[in-house]
Amino acid sequence: MHSPLEHAHVLVTGATGFVGQAVVEKLLAAYPTTRVSILVRPRGDLSAQRRAEKLLRKPVFRSWRDSVGEENALAAFTERVTVISGDLEDVPELPDDLDVVVHSASSVSFDLPVDEAFAANVAGPVNLYERLLATGTDPHVVHVSTSYVAGLRKGVAEERSLDHDVDYRTELRSALAARQTAEEASRRPEVLEPLLRQADADHRRAGPRAVSQAAEAARAAWVREELVHHARTRAESLGWPDVYTFTKAMGERVAETLWQGGGHRLSVVRPTIIESSFRHPYPGWIDGFKVADPLIAAYGRGMLPEFPALADTVLDVIPVDFVVNAILAAAAAPPQTGEASYYQVSSGITNPLRFGKLYEYVREYFSANPLKDSSGSHVSVPSWSFPHRGAVERAVRRREKAVEIADRAVGRLPARARTREWMSTLYKARRDINTLRKFTALYQPYTQIEVIFDDARTRALHASLPPERQVEHGFDVTEIDWRHYLQEVHIPGVPGLMRGERPKAGTPRVTELPERSDVVAVFDLQRTVIAATLVEQYLWVELATQPPSGWPKALGNLVALGPRYLQAEMRDRGDFIRTFMRRYAGTHEAELRAAILERVQDSLRRDVLTEAVAQIRAHRAAGHRTVLVTGEIDVFVEPLAPLFDVVVAGQMETDDDGRWTGHLLASPLVGESRATWLTRYARDEGLDLSASYAYGDSYADRPWLEVVGNPRVVNPDAQLYRYARAQRWPVLSWTTTVEGRVAPVLRSLKEGVQR
pLDDT for res 220: 96
Q: How far apart are CA 31 and CA 273, in angstroms?
A: 26
Contacts for 459-468: CB closer than 8 Å, 24+ residues apart: 459/350, 461/326, 461/329, 461/330, 461/333, 461/343, 462/326, 462/329, 464/329, 464/333, 465/329, 466/1, 468/1
Is the peptide bond between 547 and the residue preceding it cis, with omega within 30 degrees of 0? no
Residue 86 to residue 40: CA distance in whole angstroms: 6
Please give the residue that has the higher pLDDT: either 664 or 460. Answer: 460
**Residue range 290-311: mean pLDDT, rounded:** 76
229-243, 404-418, 701-715: the lowest-pLDDT one: 404-418
* Position with higher pLDDT, 451 vs 199: 199
Q: How high is the pLDDT of residue 594?
A: 82
Report the mean per-residue pLDDT for the chain. 84
Report the alpha-carbon distance of residue 25 to residue 66 in Å, rounded: 13
Among the ranges given (1-5, 36-40, 165-169, 601-605), the one the predictor scored with the smallest mean pLDDT? 1-5
H or E stretch including 157?
Answer: strand 154-157
pLDDT beyond 60 at 498: no
- CA–CA separation, 77 vs 21, rounded Å? 13
pLDDT tens-digit map of 608-644: 888 999 999 999 999 999 999 988 888 888 888 889 9
Q: Which CA distances in Å does 335 have to 82, 266, 323, 376?
A: 27, 7, 19, 58
Phi, psi dihedral angles at 698 (to 5 degrees)? -115, 155
Distance CA 282, CA 286 (A): 10
Residue 550 near residue 655 (C-beta atoms within 8 A): no
What is the mean predicted confidence (pLDDT) over 315-330?
Answer: 95
Higher pLDDT, 539 or 472: 472
Rounded Cα–Cα distance for residues 424 and 722 (Å): 9
Lowest mean pLDDT segment, chosen from 463-477, 485-499, 689-703: 485-499
Least confident of 22-36, 217-231, 434-448, 673-687: 434-448
Grade residue 751 by pLDDT with cuts at 50, 70 and 90.
Answer: very low
Strands 660-664 and 652-654, by their bridges, are antiparallel
Question: Residues 354-409: pLDDT tens digits?
Answer: 988 998 999 999 999 988 876 778 888 888 887 666 665 666 677 767 777 776 67
Phi and psi, residue 659, nearest 5°:
-100, 145
Q: What are phi and psi of 378, to 5 degrees?
A: -70, 140
User: CB-side exposure of 197: number of CA atoms within 13 Å?
Assistant: 5
pLDDT digits (tens, 9 = 90+) for 51-96: 998 888 999 999 999 998 888 888 899 999 999 999 999 999 999 9
Q: With cut-offs at 50, 70 and 90, classify the pLDDT of residue 289.
A: low
DSSP-assigned beta bridge partners for residue 694: 522, 711
3-state helix, strand, coil in the chain (%, to 5): 55, 15, 30
- In the predicted model, is pLDDT for residue 509 greater than 50? no
Please say if the pLDDT value at position 749 is more than 50: no
pTM of the model: 0.77
pLDDT of residue 677: 92
> Using CA atoms, how far apart are residues 643 and 755, in angstroms rounded to an integer?
10
Confidence band, pLDDT 50/70/90 cuts, at residue 593 = confident
- Round to whole Å and give the CA distance between 621 and 625: 10
DSSP structural state of residue 166: -
Task: Among 470-484, 563-577, 708-722, name the one with the lowest average pLDDT.
Answer: 563-577
| Rg, the chain, Cα only | 33
Residue 414, CB half-sphere, CA atoms under 13 Å: how many?
8
CA–CA dist 634, 630 (Å, integer): 9
As a whole number, mean pLDDT of residues 193-209 equals: 89
- The one-character DSSP state at 341 is E
168-172, 667-671, 694-698, range with the lowest pLDDT: 667-671
Q: Provide the CA 329 distance to its chain's centre, in angstroms.
A: 38
d(CA 353, CA 359): 10
| Amino acid 360: pLDDT | 93
CB-based burial label for 469 (10 Å; 0-12, 13-18, 19+): middle
What is the predicted pLDDT for the residue at 563?
Answer: 60
